[in-house]
C-alpha cells in the first residue's frame, strides 16, 4: 500500500468529514441522534416533582374565556395554598391593567402565598421588550421569571436559556425561579461554568448562554395535571400538590400561543406551561445533560480516524474490513455511551469521520488486494516461463547423452571414436550437473546452508577469466569488452561463488546489449572494501523494475526485446552470494542508455607472516 498517498487520502477524508459535521447537515444529524437517544433512553419512571393546574377547554368554557380568568385564578390559588405546595408558578402573563375591582381578589390571593412566581414575557415584535406583571400582582411575587423557550433551528425545543436579558433587565427562567423558591430561596450565584443555588450546582456555562438541556419526563408517566375547573369544583383535588411545585398555565389542545415541538412531540406540540414545568423537573431531579467540549469531541474524532487508518494499514483483505467494521461500530456506540453518562456527544462527528475513514480504508484495501492478485498472476507467469526455459535447457544435454550412450551400446565403434563419445557424455553431464547445482545453490544460499570457503581472491583475476570465457559470445555481436586492470583488489571470500557472480554480471551485460556497443569492467579498492563494476550501453531497464530483478524468476520488460533466453535466477543468486559475504549490490539503469552493476565486498586484509 503506497504510504503517503494512503495517508493523504485519509487526511482529506477526515477534513471533509469534519467540515460536513460542522455544517448545517452535521447539526441536523446531531439533532436527530439527540432526539433518538432521548426517546430510546428516557429517564426512569417516577412521580413528577410538580403538578400542572391546567387552564383547559373546560375551564375556558365554564368561566368565559381568558379575559375572565382573574377571579377563578384567585379562587384556585386559595384552594391550592391549603395544601402547602413548595411553590406556585403562575404561567399566565398578568400584564393588563384592568380595573382595581377586578384585580383586588387576585392580588389578595397572591399575597396569601409567600412562594408565588409570576411570568414575564418577551414580546415577539422587535423592540417591544418585557411584558411584566402589573404592580399590584408583582408586589406579592417572590420572583418574576421569564417564560420563554426558543426552538432550535429545526423548530424543535430541546433547551431553554436559564437567563434572558433585554433592555438591561435580565430575568432568570421561570422554572429556575420556581426551583429556587421551592428550595428555600437561596441566592443564585454565577461562575463561568455554573449557576450555584446554595450547595447545588447547575452546569450552564456562560459560553453557551446559560442553556439547560431539558430532561423531558418519561412519556409513560408525564407530569401530573389537574384541570383548574375541576379543582374549583372539587377542592379536595388540591391534596395532590402537597410538597410539590405547581405550574398554572393554559393547556388547550391545538392551542393558543407558546406551543412548541419537542423530541417527544411526534407532531403534537407541547404547551409553554409544560415546558416550564419540565425546566423545573430537570432542575429538581439534578441529573443534567451536558454537551461534551468541542476539544474532546475533536480528539475523539481524530482517535477514530487514527484507529481506522492503522487497521487498514496493518491488516488487509477481509480481516481489515472486519476490524474496520468494529471500529465503525465503536464510532456509532460513542454517542450512546456518552449519553448514558449524561454527556451529549456530537454524533455527526464520530459517524461522518468513522464512515469516511472506513470508506477510504476499504477502497485502498480493495485496490491493494487487486494489486496483490495481479502480482501473484505475474509471478506465476514468470515461474512458468522459467520452468519452460530450464526444461528446454536440460533437454539439449540429455538428448546428447541419450544419443551417444545408445551409439556406444548398439555398435562396436573404434576406440578413438568411443573415447570421443565418452568425453562428450562427460561434458554434457557436467553441464547438466552445473545447471542443477546452480538451482540448488540459490535455495541453499538463501536458507543459509551453503558454507563459504573464505580466502583472499583477486577480483581483477576473476574479471580477466570471465572476460576471456565471454569473448567469443561478445565477438559474435561485435561487442567490445574493456577491462581496466587493477593490481590491488583482493576480496575476502569464496572463489567459486565470486567467480560465478562476476561471470553472471558480465554475461548479462553481453546478453542485454545490442551489437556494436562496448562494456567496461573494472575492480578497485577503497580502504577495507573492494568494488567490482560492470557497465554496458545496452537495452537498460525501467528504474521502477530495479528492485525486482533480484527476485527469483523475474525478468525485466526489456529482456524480451533482447531476444535472449533466461531463467531470471542469475541475479537472485548473485545477490545471495554478495549478501552472504557481507556485501551489497547496486544497480543504475536507464532504458536504451545502459546499466551499471556495482558490487561492494569486504577486502582481504594483508596478513603479515611472523
Ligand atoms: P536471466 O538473465 O536468466 O533472465 P538474471 O537474474 O541474470 O536472469 O537477470 C534478471 C533480469 O534482469 C534479466 O532477465 C534482464 O531483464 C535484467 N538484466 C540483468 N542484467 C541486465 C543488463 N546488464 N542490462 C539489462 N537488463 C539486465
CA 183 to chain CA centroid, Å, is: 48
Confidence at residue 247, expressed as pLDDT on a 0 to 100 scale? 97
E-strand ranges in 453-593 read 454-458, 480-484, 490-494, 518-526, 529-536, 584-590
Strand partners, 117: 89, 143
Domain ranges of the chain: 1-43+299-337+345-373, 46-286, 394-446, 455-602
Q: Please spell the DSSP secondary structure of 434-484, one letter per residue.
A: HHHHHHHHHHHHHTT-PPP-EEEEEHHHHHHHHHHHHHHHHHHTT-EEEEE
Interstrand relation of 480-484 and 518-526 (parallel, antiparallel or unpaired): parallel
Ligand 1 centroid–CA 595 distance in Å is 10
* Closest atom of ligand 1 to CA, residue 571: 6
> What rounded mean pLDDT belongs to the chain?
90
For ligand 1, atom 23, name the residue with the nearest CA: 509
Are residues 277 and 176 in contact, defined by beta-carbon separation less than 8 angstroms?
no
Q: What CATH number matches the domain at 394-446, 1.10.287, 3.30.420, 3.30.1300, 3.10.20?
A: 1.10.287
Are residues 16 and 25 in contact, defined by beta-carbon separation less than 8 angstroms?
no
- Give the containing element (helix H, strand E) for 53: strand 50-55
Comparing CA positions, the residue from 575, 486, 594 lying closest to residue 537 is 594
Q: What integer is the mean pLDDT of 442-459?
A: 80
Cβ 513 under 6 angstroms from ligand 1: no
Confidence of residue 150 (pLDDT cuts 50, 70, 90): confident
Strand partners, 55: 250
Confidence at residue 1, expressed as pLDDT on a 0 to 100 scale? 47
Cβ 594 under 6 angstroms from ligand 1: no
Are residues 247 and 178 in contact, defined by beta-carbon separation less than 8 angstroms?
yes
Cβ 509 under 6 angstroms from ligand 1: yes
Confidence at residue 573, expressed as pLDDT on a 0 to 100 scale? 84
Ligand 1 centroid–CA 509 distance in Å is 8
For ligand 1, atom 3, name the residue with the nearest CA: 566
Cβ 569 under 6 angstroms from ligand 1: yes
For ligand 1, atom 2, name the residue with the nearest CA: 566
The proportion of the chain whose per-residue pLDDT surpasses 90, expressed as a percent, equals 63
Cβ 517 under 6 angstroms from ligand 1: no
Burial of 597 (0-12, 13-18, 19+ CB in 10 A): buried
Ligand 1 centroid–CA 561 distance in Å is 12
CATH 3.90.180.10 fits 455-602, yes or no: no
Q: What integer is the mean pLDDT of 448-456?
A: 82
Ligand 1 centroid–CA 450 distance in Å is 24
* Closest atom of ligand 1 to CA, residue 573: 6
Rounded to an integer, what distance in angstroms lies between the CA atom of residue 184 and that of residue 330?
A: 45
> Which of the residue ranges 53-67, 442-456, 594-608 would you say has the lowest mean pLDDT?
442-456
- Which residue is it, cell 365554564? 62
Cβ 555 under 6 angstroms from ligand 1: yes
DSSP at 46? -
> Which of the residue ranges 253-257, 454-458, 540-544, 606-610 would you say has the lowest mean pLDDT?
606-610
Cβ 595 under 6 angstroms from ligand 1: yes
- Which residue is it, cell 460536513? 20
For ligand 1, atom 13, name the residue with the nearest CA: 555
Q: What is the pLDDT of residues 50-82, one digit of tens each?
A: 999 999 999 999 998 878 889 999 999 999 999
Comparing CA positions, the residue from 300, 363, 359, 302 lying closest to residue 333 is 300
- Which residue is it, cell 583488489? 489
- Whether the predicted pLDDT of 145 surpasses 90: yes
Q: Measured between alpha carbons, how far apart are the two ends of the chain, in Å? A: 58
Confidence of residue 229 (pLDDT cuts 50, 70, 90): very high
Ligand 1 centroid–CA 549 distance in Å is 7
Ligand 1 pocket test target in 466, 554, 566 with most atoms within 8 Å of CB: 566
- Whether the predicted pLDDT of 415 surpasses 60: yes
Torsion of the alpha carbons at 140, 142, 147 and 152, rounded to the nearest 10: 170
Confidence at residue 609, expressed as pLDDT on a 0 to 100 scale? 37
Ligand 1 pocket test target in 559, 569, 578 with most atoms within 8 Å of CB: 559
- Give the containing element (helix H, strand E) for 331: helix 317-340
- Give the containing element (helix H, strand E) for 58: helix 57-63
Cβ 541 under 6 angstroms from ligand 1: yes
Cβ 552 under 6 angstroms from ligand 1: no
For ligand 1, atom 17, name the residue with the nearest CA: 556
Rounded to an integer, what distance in angstroms lies between the CA atom of residue 607 and that of residue 610?
A: 9
Are residues 540 and 593 in contact, defined by beta-carbon separation less than 8 angstroms?
yes
Q: What integer is the mean pLDDT of 485-508?
A: 92
* Closest atom of ligand 1 to CA, residue 566: 3
- Whether the predicted pLDDT of 546 surpasses 80: yes
For ligand 1, atom 20, name the residue with the nearest CA: 508
The residues, ordered by sequence, that sit 6+ positions from 180 with a Cβ below 8 Å of its Cβ are: 143, 172, 186, 188, 197
The dihedral region occupied by 127, where left means phi > 0, alpha psi between -120 and 50, and beta the remainder, is left
Alpha-carbon Rg for the chain in angstroms: 47
Confidence at residue 607, expressed as pLDDT on a 0 to 100 scale? 47
The dihedral region occupied by 505, where left means phi > 0, alpha psi between -120 and 50, and beta the remainder, is alpha
SS3 letters across 355-395: HHHHHHHHHHHHHHHHHHHHHHHHHHHHHHHHHHHHHHHHH
What phi and psi values does residue 528 have, to the nearest 5 degrees?
Answer: -100, 15
Ligand 1 pocket test target in 441, 571, 577, 586 with most atoms within 8 Å of CB: 571
- Whether the predicted pLDDT of 376 surpasses 70: yes
Interstrand relation of 116-122 and 143-146 (parallel, antiparallel or unpaired): parallel
Are residues 171 and 188 in contact, defined by beta-carbon separation less than 8 angstroms?
no
Q: What is the pLDDT of residues 200-217, one digit of tens each?
A: 899 999 988 899 999 998
Ligand 1 centroid–CA 2 distance in Å is 26
What cell was used for 594? 545502459
CA 54 to chain CA centroid, Å, is: 52
- 595 versus 254: the higher-pLDDT residue is 595
Ligand 1 centroid–CA 442 distance in Å is 16
Confidence at residue 50, expressed as pLDDT on a 0 to 100 scale? 97
DSSP at 253? T
Cβ 559 under 6 angstroms from ligand 1: yes
Q: What is the pLDDT of residues 345-375, one digit of tens each?
A: 999 999 999 999 999 999 988 888 778 778 8
- Whether the predicted pLDDT of 482 surpasses 70: yes
Comparing CA positions, the residue from 395, 391, 397, 419 lying closest to residue 407 is 419
Confidence of residue 255 (pLDDT cuts 50, 70, 90): low
What phi and psi values does residue 496 have, to the nearest 5 degrees?
Answer: -65, -45
The residues, ordered by sequence, that sit 6+ positions from 425 with a Cβ below 8 Å of its Cβ are: 400, 401, 404, 405
Ligand 1 pocket test target in 555, 558, 578, 594 with most atoms within 8 Å of CB: 555
Ligand 1 pocket test target in 508, 556, 564, 590 with most atoms within 8 Å of CB: 508
C-alpha distances (whole Å) from 317 to each of 167, 324, 327, 515 are 65, 11, 16, 48
- 242 versus 380: the higher-pLDDT residue is 242
The residues, ordered by sequence, that sit 6+ positions from 367 with a Cβ below 8 Å of its Cβ are: none
Ligand 1 pocket test target in 568, 586, 594 with most atoms within 8 Å of CB: 568
Confidence at residue 610, expressed as pLDDT on a 0 to 100 scale? 37
Rounded to an integer, what distance in angstroms lies between the CA atom of residue 48 and that of residue 125?
A: 35
- Give the containing element (helix H, strand E) for 270: strand 270-271
The dihedral region occupied by 448, where left means phi > 0, alpha psi between -120 and 50, and beta the remainder, is left
Q: Please spell the DSSP secondary structure of 70-97, one letter per residue.
A: HHHHHHHHHHHHTT--SEEEEES-----
Ligand 1 centroid–CA 160 distance in Å is 78
* Closest atom of ligand 1 to CA, residue 389: 3
Confidence at residue 140, expressed as pLDDT on a 0 to 100 scale? 94
Q: What integer is the mean pLDDT of 334-338?
A: 96
Are residues 209 and 190 in contact, defined by beta-carbon separation less than 8 angstroms?
no
Q: What integer is the mean pLDDT of 417-438?
A: 84
DSSP at 209? T
The residues, ordered by sequence, that sit 6+ positions from 436 with a Cβ below 8 Å of its Cβ are: none
Amino acid at each position: 500500500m503506497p504510504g503517503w498517498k494512503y495517508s493523504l487520502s485519509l487526511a482529506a477524508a477526515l477534513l471533509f468529514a469534519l467540515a460536513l459535521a460542522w455544517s448545517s447537515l452535521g447539526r441536523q444529524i446531531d439533532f436527530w441522534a439527540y432526539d433518538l437517544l432521548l426517546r430510546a433512553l428516557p429517564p426512569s419512571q417516577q412521580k413528577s416533582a410538580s403538578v400542572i393546574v391546567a387552564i383547559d377547554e373546560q375551564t375556558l368554557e365554564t368561566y368565559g374565556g381568558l379575559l375572565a380568568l382573574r377571579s377563578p385564578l384567585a379562587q384556585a390559588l386559595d384552594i391550592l395554598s391549603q395544601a402547602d405546595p413548595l411553590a406556585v408558578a403562575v404561567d399566565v402573563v398578568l400584564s393588563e391593567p384592568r380595573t382595581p375591582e377586578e384585580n383586588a381578589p387576585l392580588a389578595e390571593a397572591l399575597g396569601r402565598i409567600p412562594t408565588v412566581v409570576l411570568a414575564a414575557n418577551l414580546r415577539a415584535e422587535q423592540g417591544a421588550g418585557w411584558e411584566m406583571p402589573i404592580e399590584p400582582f408583582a408586589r406579592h411575587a417572590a420572583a418574576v421569571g421569564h417564560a420563554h423557550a426558543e426552538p432550535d433551528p429545526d423548530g424543535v425545543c430541546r433547551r431553554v436559556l436559564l437567563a434572558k436579558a433585554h433592555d438591561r433587565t435580565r430575568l432568570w427562567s421561570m422554572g429556575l425561579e420556581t426551583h429556587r423558591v421551592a428550595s428555600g430561596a437561596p441566592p443564585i450565584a454565577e461562575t463561568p461554568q455554573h449557576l450555584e443555588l446554595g450547595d447545588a450546582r447547575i452546569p450552564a456555562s456562560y459560553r453557551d448562554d446559560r442553556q439547560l438541556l431539558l430532561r423531558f419526563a418519561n412519556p409513560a408517566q408525564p407530569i401530573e395535571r389537574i384541570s383548574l375547573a375541576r379543582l374549583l369544583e372539587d377542592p379536595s383535588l388540591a391534596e395532590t400538590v402537597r410538597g410539590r411545585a405547581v405550574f398554572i398555565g393554559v393547556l388547550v389542545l391545538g392551542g393558543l400561543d407558546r406551543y412548541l415541538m419537542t423530541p417527544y412531540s411526534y407532531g403534537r406540540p407541547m404547551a409553554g406551561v409544560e415546558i416550564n414545568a419540565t425546566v423545573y423537573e430537570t432542575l429538581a431531579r439534578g441529573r443534567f445533560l451536558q454537551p461534551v467540549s468541542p476539544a474532546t469531541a475533536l480528539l475523539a474524532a481524530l482517535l477514530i480516524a487514527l484507529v481506522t487508518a492503522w487497521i487498514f494499514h496493518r491488516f488487509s483483505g477481509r480481516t481489515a474490513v472486519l476490524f474496520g467494521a468494529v471500529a465503525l461500530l465503536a464510532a456509532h456506540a460513542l454517542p450512546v455511551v456518552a449519553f448514558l453518562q449524561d454527556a451529549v456527544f456530537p454524533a455527526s462527528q464520530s459517524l461522518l469521520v468513522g464512515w469516511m475513514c472506513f470508506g477510504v480504508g476499504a477502497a485502498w484495501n480493495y485496490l491493494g488486494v487487486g494489486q496483490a492478485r495481479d502480482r501473484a498472476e505475474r509471478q506465476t507467469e514468470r515461474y512458468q516461463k522459467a520452468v519452460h526455459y530450464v526444461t528446454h535447457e536440460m533437454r539439449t544435454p540429455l538428448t546428447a547423452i541419450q544419443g551417444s550412450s545408445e551409439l556406444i551400446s548398439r555398435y562396436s565403434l573404434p576406440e578413438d571414436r568411443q573415447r570421443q563419445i565418452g568425453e562428450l557424455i562427460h561434458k554434457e553431464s557436467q553441464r547438466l550437473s552445473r545447471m542443477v547445482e546452480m538451482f540448488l545453490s540459490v535455495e541453499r544460499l538463501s536458507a543459509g546452508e551453503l558454507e563459504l570457503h573464505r580466502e583472499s581472491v583477486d577480483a581483477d583475476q576473476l574479471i580477466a577469466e570471465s572476460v576471456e570465457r565471454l569473448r567469443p559470445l561478445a565477438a559474435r555481436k561485435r561487442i567490445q569488452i574493456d577491462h581496466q586492470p587493477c593490481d590491488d583488489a583482493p576480496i575476502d571470500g569464496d572463489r567459486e561463488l565470486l567467480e560465478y557472480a562476476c561471470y553472471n554480471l558480465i554475461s548479462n551485460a553481453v546478453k542485454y546489449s545490442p551489437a556494436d556497443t562496448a562494456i567496461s569492467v573494472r575492480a578497485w579498492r577503497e580502504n577495507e572494501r573492494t568494488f567490482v563494476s560492470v557497465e554496458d550501453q545496452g537495452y537498460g531497464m525501467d528504474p521502477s523494475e530495479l528492485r525486482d530483478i533480484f527476485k527469483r524468476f523475474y525478468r525485466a520488460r526489456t529482456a524480451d526485446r533482447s531476444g535472449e533466453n533466461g531463467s531470471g535466477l542469475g541475479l537472485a543468486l548473485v545477490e545471495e552470494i554478495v549478501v552472504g559475504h557481507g556485501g551489497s549490490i547496486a544497480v543504475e539503469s536507464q532504458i536504451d542508455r545502459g546499466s551499471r552493476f556495482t558490487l561492494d565486498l569486504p577486502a582481504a586484509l594483508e596478513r603479515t607472516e611472523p
